[in-house]
Amino acid sequence: MYIRRIMESKLKYLSEHFPVVMVCGARQVGKTTLLNQIREESEQIQYVTLDYPRLRNLAKEDPELFLQQYQTPLIIDEIQYAPQLLPYIKIRVDQAGQNGLYYLTGSQMFHMMKNVSESLAGRVGILSMYSLSRAEIDGRVTMPFLPNKIRTAESKDTVTEIFQRIYRGGMPQMITDPELLPEDYFGAYMQTYLERDIRDLISVKDENKFLKFLSCAAARSAQEVNLADMAKDVEIDRKTADGWLSVLVSSGLVYLLSPYSGNTIKRIIKRPKLYFMDTGLACYLTLWNNPRALELSAMAGAMFETYVVSEIIKGYVNHGIDVRSRFYYYRDNNGGEIDLMIIENGKLYPIEIKKSADPGKAALKNFNILKSLPEETGEGAVICMTPMVIPLDDKNKMIPVRCI
């Protein structure tokens, strides 16, 4: 069963304006399925995957001969296995002078983007891809979330239903096969991740320690990164912990939310916050095997925040928008904290995230911090389990979690 992806329209748009389109993201989020759907709509597009060892070796050893075997337009799956192809693709697209010639996928996001940007600068449109969003699962097309765009809405979600979604996550196979148990799926997923991605990126002498580091990171989702503590817990040095965290980001499993740093703010915490981009994987790594137990646990608030932030990020990324210069969090040494701040057209939109159904005006207590920031302040939101949009004052409101 194919679940339509919101980024389909952006992918088609980029193929009309660039000779090469790159779709990168974590393993099994649906990159190949998306491109094969585009292929079905255009019989001219050919497909080849570098998962096959012989084809991979040919692409590495004789890139020119490899490209001669296939007509364009061409999908090349798992391009990270043969970055040697990229300079030859550049030559071909420059000679052809056409758009929509090559579609590439890769499972190592920023590692691949570096190679692609060096070889294909100005010739490639890049899309990042994560697991399915709530809107995609529900079959809705939504716009990127901003508090001022939500005026009225109702939701019948219960907190138990939300935690069932959190527990299963958004990996396509977990959605299309409701009988599949998370421990079975994610156990196989982690083995594939270790064998294919990790061994390509770094040399891990002790895979058990790397898995422990993964679990340690998952347990700290929605928290500031403290590499010293993580290294101590896993019994590795800080430099190794830093490198391993970079791998989690590079392979699309983790997003690091930057701290806000306006020029007028002197006492700002400089560490990013860590978020797993699929809550199902985070639950598996932290050994939760029951959504109800998770809902009642001390980790419930962090998992709920992880779900909300990852959904908002997916909403932007699915429309081809780079969130790195738009999304921040705020925390200072006085205890002032705002979970998420979105900067759009010079305005700053503050967002608090609460698991309760009626957090009330108390949730806005830190919004006064915004008066000291240089940006103009827009409408704010408390994303929570409220059944409808409820104004809290003239600029801020509670918004149901379904609206993200």
1-37 per-position pLDDT tens digit: 789 999 999 999 999 999 999 999 999 999 999 999 9
pLDDT grade for 196, boundaries at 50, 70 and 90: confident
**Could you read off the pLDDT of 213-254 as tens digits, one per residue?**
999 999 999 999 999 999 999 999 999 999 999 989 988 899
Among 15-29, 80-94, 321-335, the minimum mean pLDDT is found in 321-335
**Would you say residue 110 has pLDDT above 60?**
no
Say whether 361 sits in a helix, a strand or coil.
helix
Average pLDDT (184-210) is 82
Q: Which of 98-102, 178-182, 194-198, 222-226 has the lowest mean pLDDT?
A: 194-198
Strand partners, 76: 48, 104
pLDDT at residue 372 in the model: 83
Closest CA to 102 of 113, 91, 114: 91
Q: Does position 386 have pLDDT exceeding 90, yes or no?
A: yes
Q: Residue 120 pLDDT > 70, yes or no?
A: yes
Confidence of residue 177 (pLDDT cuts 50, 70, 90): very high
Residue pair 106/112 in contact (Cβ under 8 Å)? The answer is yes
Report d(CA 131, CA 221) in Å as an integer: 17
- Return the CA Rg of the chain: 22
Give the model's confidence band at 268: pLDDT under 50 very low, under 70 low, under 90 confident, else very high: low
Asked whether the predicted pLDDT for residue 265 surpasses 70, the reply is: no
Rounded distance between C-alpha atoms, residue 80 and residue 111, angstroms: 8
Mean pLDDT taken over the chain: 91
Residue 101 pLDDT greater than 70, yes or no: yes
- How far is it, in rounded angstroms, from Cα 193 to Cα 394? 48
**Average pLDDT, integer, range 310-329:** 95
Mean pLDDT of 40-51: 89
Asked if residue 264 has pLDDT above 50, the reply is no
Q: Which of 150, 107, 182 is nearest to 401 (CA)?
A: 150
pLDDT at 114 over 70: no
pTM, entire model: 0.94
User: How much is the average pLDDT of 91-110?
Assistant: 88
- Residue 371 pLDDT grade (very low, low, confident, very high; cuts 50, 70, 90): confident
Q: What is the pLDDT of residue 193?
A: 86
pLDDT number for residue 325 = 87
pLDDT at 206: 75
pLDDT at 197: 76
Q: Nearest to residue 130, comparing CAs of 268, 259, 313, 307?
A: 313
pLDDT at 41 > cutoff 90: no
Q: Is 217 left (phi over 0), alpha (psi -120 to 50) or beta?
A: alpha
pLDDT confidence bin for 200, thresholds 50/70/90? low
Find the helix or strand (DSSP H, E) in which 124 lies.
strand 124-129
Q: Which residues contact 300 (CB under 8 A, 6 or more apart)?
A: 163, 294, 355
% of the chain surpassing 70 pLDDT = 94
The pair of structure tokens assigned to 246 is 């970079």
Q: 113: pLDDT confidence band, cut at 50, 70 and 90?
A: low
For 52-85, how does the pLDDT look when each residue is reduced to its tens digit (9 = 90+)? Answer: 999 999 999 999 999 999 999 999 999 988 999 9
- Cα first-last separation, the chain: 24
pLDDT at residue 266 greater than cutoff 60: no
* Arithmetic mean of pLDDT, 353-379: 91
Q: In the numeric block, which tokens belong to residue 118?
A: 């060096």
